[in-house]
Chains A and B, each alone.
Chain A
Amino acid sequence: MPDGAHYPIPFEGNTQQACCRGCQAVAQTIIDSGQGAYYTHRTALPATPREAEAELAQLGLYDLPEIQESFVRVEAEHIREAALILENIVCAACIWLNERHIAALPGVLSVEINYATRRARVRWDNSRIQLSAILKAVSDIGYIAHPFDPGRSDDIYKRERNTAIKRLAIAGLGMMQVMMYALPSYTATDMTDDIRLLMRWASLVLTIPVVLYSAWPFFIGAWRDLKRRTLGMDVPVALGVGTAFIASVYATFFGQGEVYYDSVTMFIFLLLTGRFLEMNARRRAGAAVEELVKLIPAATTRLPNWPLRDEEQVPVARLAVGDHVLVRPGETLPADGVVVDGDSAVSEAMLTGESLPVSKTIHSKVVGGSLNQASPLVVQIEKLGADTRLASIVRLLDRAQSEKPRIGQLADRAAAWFVGLLLLITVLVGIVWYVIDPSKVLWIVVSILVVTCPCALGLATPAALTTATGRLTRLGLLTTRGHALETLARATDLVFDKTGTLTQGRLSVRRVVALGGHSENEVSDIAAALEAGSEHPIARALREAATPSRSASQIRNTPGRGVEGTIGEQTYRLGSPRFAAPAHTLPEAAEGAYPNNGHESWIALAAGDALIAWFALADTPRADAPAALAALSAQGLHLHLLSGDAEGAVKATAQQLDITDWHAGALPEDKLAYVKTLQSQGRIVAMVGDGINDAPVLAGAQVSIAMGEGADVAQAAADMVMLGSRLGTLADGVALARKTQLIIRQNLGWALGYNLIAIPAAAFGYVTPWLAGIGMSVSSLLVVLNALRLTDYKPNTPVAAQPLPSPLTAPR
C-alpha cells in the first residue's frame, strides 16, 4: 500500500497558489466589481498585502548563516550555491523566464532550473548579493522560491495537485452544463427568443467561473510573458480564450452575433486535463531524484553517551559530525560514517544499482541512504547534509538535468520564435477570412491560437533527458553533465585508461601446480585451511579458491613471509618461495598458459621439507568484464585499453578480454595524445577511468566516465560516474543513451509535424476550437508519455540480466 495514504493536509490559513501582488490586485478588482461570485466559495483568498510583507520579512531570515547551513554550499570565500524549489511553474516558458530574470541580477554567477523537478541551482557572490534579494526577485515576477527541502516539495506538489483538481472540476462541470444549453440551441427549431436568451445568460453565468478561475493560470502566464516582453506558450491560449469569451459576452448583452460559451468551456477543460496529466507524468519523470532525496530518514536514534547504550530519538537535521547513531535492521543510514560496532549487510542498491547487499563490519565506511539489512550497526557520523555522498549525487544529477544539450537549446529558441510567427499568421489569416466570410473569422482565429503547440517543442528534450538520467542513475550510472547522454549515444570508440578499470584490483588464484602426487583440490584445501584466520589479500584469494574441509592448528604467522600450521600430524608451511621451500625454484615458464611475467605472485606450499604445490595469484578481470565488453563491441563500439602498467599485465588482460588495441606503459601525456589522434580521425571518444588521477585525459575525451567506486563522487571530473562496480552498466548506458536520442528525435519530429499540419488546417477552417483544444493537449501529452517510456526501459544487453557474482558481498 502506498505510504501516502494518511497524510493530513494542513489547509486552514494556507495562502494557496498565491502569485504576484499584481495578480492579487486583479483578483481584488474582480471581487470588488461584483464578478467574484465564485470566489465566495473559496476558503482561502490570495495573500493579502500584509501577509506578503510578513513573508518578505521572513526572507531576510534566509541570509543568516545558521539557517543557510542546511541548504547552502559554500564554494569559495564569497561564492555560495543553493538549491531552491520554485512554485507556480506550469510550462517550460516559466523556466526561461526565471532563468533569465535571476541571471540578470548583479552578483548572481549562474542559475539552472530543472523543469521536471522545479528545482533551481543558484550560485552567487555573497559579497554582492544576498540570498533574500534573489528570493525576492523571484517573487517579483510572480513565482515563489523556497530553499529546497524534500518535505516541502511534497507539500507543494500536493497543493498544486489539489488546485489543479479544483480547476478541472469547475471547468468540467461548467462545460457539461453549457453543452446542455448549447445542444438545443443548435438543434431545436421551435425555440422562442426569450428561452434562447435565458440559455445564453445561464451559459454566461457558468462560463464566468470557468474563465476566471479555471483558466486563470493561462492569463497569469500570458501576463507574465508580456510584462517580460517575451512570447510564451500561454499568450496564444489566453488570447484565444479571451477573444472568444469577450465576443460571446458582447453577443449576450447586445443580442447580436454568435456565442461561443460551449467552445470556451470545453477547450479550457481539455487544456486543463492535458496539463493535469502532464503534471503527473512530469512528477513521475522527476521521481528518480526525489526518491534519492527521500532516502535520508527524518529521525534517527542517537547514542549520546556512547559507548553507553542509552538511546534518544533526534531529527537527522540535529545530528553533528562525530555523533554515534544506532541503525537497526530495516532502517536507512542517516548520513555518511564509519561503523564502530556491529556486523551487518547493507544494501546500497539505490545509490549504486548493485542489487546484492554489501557486508559491513567495524571500520567499514557506510553511506547515508543505504539500507541496513541484517543486524544493528552503531555508526559514527563523518559527513552530514550537503557533504554526504548522496547529496553530491543529487547535486550532480540536478546539474545534469538542468543543463540542456544543444538540441534542446535549439528547440527552446525555435519555440520562442514560433509563437511570434504564429501571432503574425493569425492576424493575416484573420484579415483574409474577414474578406471571405466575416462570420467565421472569430472561431478560425481562436482555433489557430489554440491548436498550435509550442509546448511540445519545448518539452521534447527536457522530458526525455530527465527520465533517461533518472533511469540511468537507478542502473548505477550517474550523469553529471547535460551533454553526456547525447555524446555517449554518438560515441564510436571506448577507451579504458587503466587495467584496474577492467580488473577487480584484488588477487585471486590463477593457477595451481600440484606436485608429488597430490591433487589440486587437496593442496588448495590445505592452503585454505592454513589461511583460515588471516585477512591478508593473499589469504583471502586462497580461501576463495577452496572450501576447506579440514582445519589447521598451531597456526603461526610470520608477517611478510608466510604461515605455518599443523593439519593432522603433518606440519605445513605456506608463503613466499624462500620461506616455504628454500631449496626450490619457480616452475618453468613453459608449464602453463600464464608465463611468469612479473604480474603474478607465486606462493609455495611445503609439507615438512617437501614442496607439494605452487599457487599463482594475479589480479583478475571483473567477473562481468568479458560479457560487458562483448556487449559493447556488439553495439559497434571500438574498444581500446591504455595503461600505465607493465606490458605483461596489460597484455594478459587485453588478450583475456579480446581487446585488440592496447598500449602498456602509457604516461598520461601518451594517453592524451592517443585520444587526440583518434579524435583527429573523426572518431568520438568515450573515456573510462578512475576520475581523479586521470583528469586531463578524461577532459580530453568527448565524454568521460569515471569509476566512482569508493571515490568522492563530487571530485570526479567526469561527465558520468559509475556508482557501482558492474561494468555491464556501461553497455546499458550506451543502449539507453541511444534510445534517448531516438526519443528526443521522435518528440521533436512529432512536435514539428503536428504544428505544420495543424496550423494550415486551422487556417483553412477545418478545425473547430474544441478540436483544437484536444489537439494541443494530446500533442504535449504525447511528448511526455513518449519520454516516460524510458522510465522502465530495459537495455537489451546480455549482461543486464545476470546477477552480479561477487564473493565480497556474501554475508558471513
Chain B
Amino acid sequence: MPLSIRDIASALKLPITTVERWARQGHIPSTVRKNVYVFDERIIEKWAQKHQLSFSPQKQMIDESPINDDSHSLVRAMKEGSFIYGITGQTIDEILSNACQHVPMPSQTDQKALYQLLLEREQLTSTGIGKGVAIPHPRTPMERIPSPLITTCFLNTPVDYKAIDDQPVFVLFILVCPKIEIHLHHLSRLAYCIRDDQFINFLRSKPDESTLLARVKNVETQFEKTNPA
C-alpha cells in the first residue's frame, strides 16, 4: 500500500522535514508520483529494520498526549462509559452479559467480544476487590476503542461475585482501555476512590450521574494532590 510522507514521518516518529530531506537525498527508498513522494510500506519496513529505526505505521493518537492530563481523568472515562442502574442477574455470567449490552462499544460484535474477555478474566480470579465493588476488565487492552471507558453498573440485587472479602457485589465498574498504561492509570485511581469507606456508603445510595461525577471529581483532585505524576 503506498504511504504518504506524513504517514512515514509519523510511523518513524520523525519530523516531516527529515523524511522529505532523506527522500530528496536518496537515503530512504521512495518514488515520485505527480511531484509527490510515495513510499511502499513493505520496503520502508525492511529499510527501517536495517537502519535500526522503529517503524509502526498505525496511527497512535493516544500516544501523543501525556497520560496525566485532563483527557485521561476518571470523570471523563466515566462519562464516556455511561451509567446503568438496575442490572439484573443471579450469577456473574448473567450480570456481565446484561451489563455488556450497555457498554458503548463501536459495534455489537465488540460488545460480545468484551463479554467473552471479561468472562475469561473472571475465570482467572475474581475482580471483586472488596466492600461490594467489582472492577471487571479484559486481560489485554482493546485497541479498537478510541478512548478509555468506565461503565458504572448498579445491580438490582447484590450478587455473590467471589470477591476477596466474600461480600456480595452491588456495583460494577467495567474498565476498558486501549492501552495498558491508561488501564493502570485508571485502575489506581478507582482503587483510591474505593479505599474510602465514606465513598462506598455514598455508592450504596445509588447516586445519580451528576452527583456521582461531582464526588469522583473531588476524590480525584485529592488523589492528584497526594500523588503528583
Indicate whether A and B interact: no
Q: Which residues of B contact A (CB under 8 A)?
A: none
